[in-house]
A = this chain, B = another copy of it.
Amino acid sequence: MRWRLLVAYDGRGFHGFADQPGVPTVAGALAGALARATRAAEPLRLVCAGRTDAGVHARGQVVHVDLPEPLPEVRDRRAGGGARPMSGADLVRLVNRQLAPAVVLRRADPAQPGFDARRSAVARHYRYLVWNAPVPDPLLSPVAWHVPDALDLRAMAAAADAVIGGHDFRSFCRRARGAGPDVPLERHVHDATWSAATGPEVGGEGTGLLLRFDITADAFCHQMVRSLVSACVDVGRGRRNVADLVALLRSATRAGAPAPAPPHGLCLVDVAYAP
């Protein structure tokens, strides 16, 4: 039976989501834990909504997996030790016991017929955090890019505005290995905003500004969010202006594009599906 999983992870310990032989990946860790929990005889194949890169975090990654049917029974201590079918809550408990807190299964539900975590997704929401302060913050450093330069947040917001809509994002995407030049890189950005959060949970009073980039699109190409963040931060620093960014977008070439911002500031927050 097909299951739909909601997954969070700290990307720092993994070479990205997608399974690769010989290196720790989120998919590899999760497939192993699910196989042990369900005593699957065959290797499990996981499909995710957003193939996050090495070091990128997630709070709302969506995954589907076909689990062996029927699932093994579990003993219910509250029901006097009687056996009952394994539920989604049991899967959550059995997986988190193995992987938390680096990887956390937030939910596990039987999927709707025809559900595909990647193909059925209609929008992805990513968030990027920038710690804008003279010195780094030890507690934010795992989740935010430290930028010590003065940043013009209004200019960055204007830069974000300029990428909203449908565009060929070729100039902000790293081409996938083996992919030809005619791979479609047209994407539709529903929303992109920069905002400042000075909440007391983050940073602390008077130490700096935590800047947040929120972007939602139908889909993203490789390194697109991090390349856009880098370009917006360049605008914030005054190294380029919004017109330069628009010209770069229209040029549809990687020449002149900035190096992507570091992965640890990025988090896949949420994936939307048609109701």
- From A135, A142, A205, residue with most partner B Cβ within 10 Å: A135
User: Does B104 contact A59, Cβ atoms closer than 8 Å?
Assistant: no
State whether the Cβ of A20 lies closer than 8 Å to any Cβ in chain B: no
Render A103-140 as a binary contact track against B, CB cut-off 8 A, 1 for contact: 11110000000000000000000010100000111110
User: Does B135 contact A92, Cβ atoms closer than 8 Å?
Assistant: yes
Docked pose: A106 CA to B205 CA in angstroms? 13
Segment among A39-47, A67-75, A195-203, A220-228 that sits at the interface with chain B: A195-203
- From A57, A92, A201, A203, residue with most partner B Cβ within 10 Å: A201
| Total copies of this chain within the assembly | 2
State whether the Cβ of A229 lies closer than 8 Å to any Cβ in chain B: no
User: Does A138 contact B102, Cβ atoms closer than 8 Å?
Assistant: yes
User: Does A59 contact B139, Cβ atoms closer than 8 Å?
Assistant: yes
- From A106, A138, A267, residue with most partner B Cβ within 10 Å: A138
Which A residues are closer than 8 A to B by beta carbons?
A: 8-10, 57, 59-60, 92, 96, 100-106, 127, 129, 135-139, 141-143, 146, 197, 199-205, 207, 210, 212, 267, 269-270
List 8 A-B pairs, Cβ < 8 Å: A8-B135, A59-B139, A100-B135, A101-B138, A104-B136, A106-B135, A139-B267, A197-B199
The 6 closest A-B pairs by CB, nearest first: A101-B141, A10-B138, A101-B136, A59-B204, A199-B199, A100-B136
